[in-house]
Amino acid sequence: MDPQLDEHFQQQAFNLLNKNLLGAAWQTYIDKKQVLVMFAEAKAILKQKPNHKKLVASAQSLIETLSRVVRCLCLDDEQAKLTSVRGRTIAMEAEALFASAEKEFKTMRMLAAKK
């Protein structure tokens, strides 16, 4: 996958998250409200600009993962479900990404409690 196209899809998904997914098609068992809560908390952490590098990295990672979930579920282009990792094109699955996001969210909260 072209890195510019990959970044374009990632930015589109991020923009949808910033708009609380308004107008986005959402036909899945994945809890939309939970996705938005996780996104808001990660964004709030980054806005605070903490000195805790692991917490910042965790929040950034969570936002990237949630953007990928949204790419899979809300963007019409089939190529939005693809990403490039170390030069290889990989198909993404929203359910697996959401499970990963839930783990990242727990880690982020744990790190935030320790700061």
Of the two residues 107 and 1, the one the predictor is more confident about is: 107
Query: Has residue 80 got a pLDDT over 80?
Result: yes
Amino acid 115: pLDDT:
63
Please tell me the pTM assigned to this model.
0.93
Query: Has residue 97 got a pLDDT over 70?
Result: yes
Which helix H or strand E contains 65, and what residues bound it?
A: helix 53-74
Token representation of residue 87: 């030069």
Mean pLDDT of 36-44: 97
The residue ranges of every structural domain in the chain are 3-20+28-114
For 50, other C-beta atoms within 10 Å of its C-beta total 15
Mean pLDDT of 59-77: 96
Mean pLDDT of 47-52: 87
Cα–Cα distance, 1 to 39 (Å, whole number) = 26
For 27, other C-beta atoms within 10 Å of its C-beta total 7
Amino acid 49: pLDDT:
85
